[in-house]
Chains A and B, each alone.
Chain A
Amino acid sequence: MYVAVKGGEKAIDNAHRLLAETRRGDTGVAELSVDQIREQLKLAVDRVMTEGSVYDPELAALAIKQARGDLIEAIFLVRAYRTTLPRFGTSKPVETGKMRLERRISATFKDVPGGQVLGPTFDYTHRLIDFALAAEGEPPRAEAREDFSEETLAAPHVLDLLAEEGLVERPERDDEAVPGDITRHPSEFPMDRATRLQSLARGDESYLLALGYSTQRGYAKSHPFAGEIRLGRVSVEYVPEELGFPVEIGEIELTECNMINQFAGSKKVAPQFTRGYGVAMGHGERKAMAMSLVDRSLRAVELGEEVKAPAQDQEFVLEHCDNVQATGFVEHLKLPHYVDFQSELGLVRRMRQEVESNLAEAAE
């Protein structure tokens, strides 16, 4: 009995072996390949890249396989790998205005220069289980747009058009600024917007979804409109010190959301729309949209709004948005706590004894 309470090395080894076996499942069923995960579970791969903070579909797919489909576990694997990678520099800001678009919609204008492009979306599907998918078979090919070309697939940001008129705020742009790095500096509050966005970008999708949702239901109402959501590929440029000019080092897929929110203004300053910003690696619309709502609500102080809802509270939102931290601390309750529990047990017993003897005395 006593021996069984304290675990051992052997137990851990055996548990790991069992885990590996359970991961594989029925060996009569073909093993899932990393390629299959990357190609057919793309949205899971994209989420793992975003919240794992590394753009590497291959690695994310492998992590999903290793984690048996538990995405937070996969994100954790990717993060623990990422932390060991050397950092040789910072890329130039990516130009999302020059994105080669796969999808681009605006909810604020019926038509916009460059057009509305639906792209691969669940939006107008009927959510009926497609039993045909259970049987194997190739889907019909999607027709390419007739006017498909590099030019038509690039379009300016919708919000830039409004910014020309001064109707919407223009984000400050500073190409020389050295961005903060939440993985290299402990968080400090109040946190500037760039650093907040970094935290939100790797923040848990479901958590941001719930917080963003709360702002729509009256907890920090910000009257949002989806100004633009775009999905596509952007070039990443880097300036090697020895060269002194930018070199394109690759291309990544991003989802970006610019939310338009209610105006701020005063007697002296003309009112203009404000905005919230969200971005995710790969195809992550829900994440980018939720993030833009939360980004906007976190700007409360800057915009002179009263801070009274959870989604406006920097410390509350940002200190709890990291799912690797959250899952670690919640799940650590599984670890033995018998020393602390013992001391509580002793205290409760003593307090009960005191109450009982008081009652007995009173009865006499």
Chain B
Amino acid sequence: MQEEQNYNFAYLDEQTKRMIRRALLKALAVPGYQVPFAGREMPMPYGWGTGGIQVTAAILEPEDTLKVIDQGADDTTNAVSIRKFFQKVAGVETTEKTEEASIIQTRHRIPERDLEEGQIMVYQVPIPEPLRFLEPRETETRKMHALEEYGLMHVKLYEDIARHGHIATTYAYPVKVADRYIMDPSPIPKFDNPKLDNSPALQLFGAGREKRIYALPPYTPVKSLDFEDHPFETQTWDEPCALCGATDSYLDEVIMDDKGTRMFVCSDTDYCTTRREAGHVGPDAQAVGEAAE
């Protein structure tokens, strides 16, 4: 179509890509530090992943294979829309297989399958500042990061324990990067936090509306905040995935009817499909297969 020929490869012009790449390099040099960048207006709304899209657009090469997930799934509407966007403006290969992807753009999840060296994760970030809900002013939070003044965060976590008996943060759970910066891992469930640590993949975070980029180079130590007597722990489920029987994956709860029937299934659709193709069967696989037909 003529319309698309008016745009550069991967939509952004080369000057803009260069500006974003500079911010990325700085972010990699100071892991966990939020680098301000001159975020552009994108043809998707703020809140739909414009930060991640700009990062992907800046690093994308014609030979890349792109995977886009939202809530762990390749077929959620926004993941479909972003994948289509890059097919249209960059013409790159896309995939739903985690192992085939060279770049994985994600919202709210990290794939269950271990990432590999050479892979790049791009996270969509709504509020990059982990201290934002404790201190709304950017001028203050930047100072707090600069002085490594994180007492407020520890007080918040302590108050959670005093009030609820445990830390009441279940997603966007704050982490400390390379023993220096406290970082928001984007709203991934804390279940995924251990995957951030010492990952062989390169991890990039883009916040479009807030105009911030930050990064974790491969094999960066990432520690979820906790206390000695209240160690960090992840979510667990009492039952396996209804479709593939996995007991080690993050499960979404699906309400089946108005009588309270529920089913738990893998949020990572590729993980679930791969397991089922390999012959794994969950307790409800039969029933669901029929309902879908």
DSSP majority for the B interface? loop
Q: How large is the interface on B (under 10, 10 to 19, 20 to 34, 35 or more residues)?
A: 35 or more
Asked whether B84 lies within 8 Å of A183 as measured between CB atoms, the reply is no
Asked whether B45 lies within 8 Å of A339 as measured between CB atoms, the reply is no
Q: Is A185 an interface residue (CB 8 A)?
A: yes
Asked whether B252 lies within 8 Å of A342 as measured between CB atoms, the reply is yes
Asked whether B170 lies within 8 Å of A9 as measured between CB atoms, the reply is no
Max chain B C-beta neighbours (<10 A), residue from A188, A324, A347: A347
DSSP majority for the A interface? helix
In the complex the two chains form, what is the Cα distance from A234 to B207 in whole Å?
A: 39
Q: How large is the interface on A (under 10, 10 to 19, 20 to 34, 35 or more residues)?
A: 35 or more
Q: Is B235 an interface residue (CB 8 A)?
A: yes
- With contacts A9-B84, A343-B189 taken as known, whether A327 is within 8 angstroms of B45 at the C-beta atoms is yes
* Contacting residues, chain B, for A315 (C-beta < 8 A): 136-139
Q: Which of A12, A82, A336, A354 is the one whose CB lies under 8 Å from B41?
A: A82
In the complex the two chains form, what is the Cα distance from A76 to B48 in whole Å?
A: 14
Asked whether B72 lies within 8 Å of A339 as measured between CB atoms, the reply is yes
Asked whether B256 lies within 8 Å of A189 as measured between CB atoms, the reply is no
Asked whether B187 lies within 8 Å of A328 as measured between CB atoms, the reply is no
B181-200 vs A: 1/0 string, CB under 8 Å? 00000011111000000000
B96 to chain A, nearest CB (A): 12
- With contacts A6-B76, A7-B75 taken as known, whether A185 is within 8 angstroms of B138 at the C-beta atoms is no
Q: Which of A11, A84, A345 is the one whose CB lies under 8 Å from B13?
A: A84
Q: Is B211 an interface residue (CB 8 A)?
A: yes
Q: Is A325 an interface residue (CB 8 A)?
A: yes
Asked whether A332 lies within 8 Å of B126 as measured between CB atoms, the reply is yes
In the complex the two chains form, what is the Cα distance from A351 to B48 in whole Å?
A: 32
* Contacting residues, chain B, for A184 (C-beta < 8 A): 38
In the complex the two chains form, what is the Cα distance from A5 to B269 in whole Å?
A: 13
Asked whether B7 lies within 8 Å of A84 as measured between CB atoms, the reply is yes
Interface residues of A in 330-347 (CB under 8 A from B): 330-332, 335-340, 342-347
In the complex the two chains form, what is the Cα distance from A185 to B23 in whole Å?
A: 12
B232 to chain A, nearest CB (A): 14
Can you list 19 A-B contacts (CB < 8 A)?
A1-B257, A3-B291, A12-B77, A83-B42, A185-B38, A186-B211, A186-B212, A324-B41, A324-B45, A329-B46, A329-B126, A332-B126, A335-B78, A337-B108, A339-B108, A339-B171, A340-B108, A342-B267, A351-B168
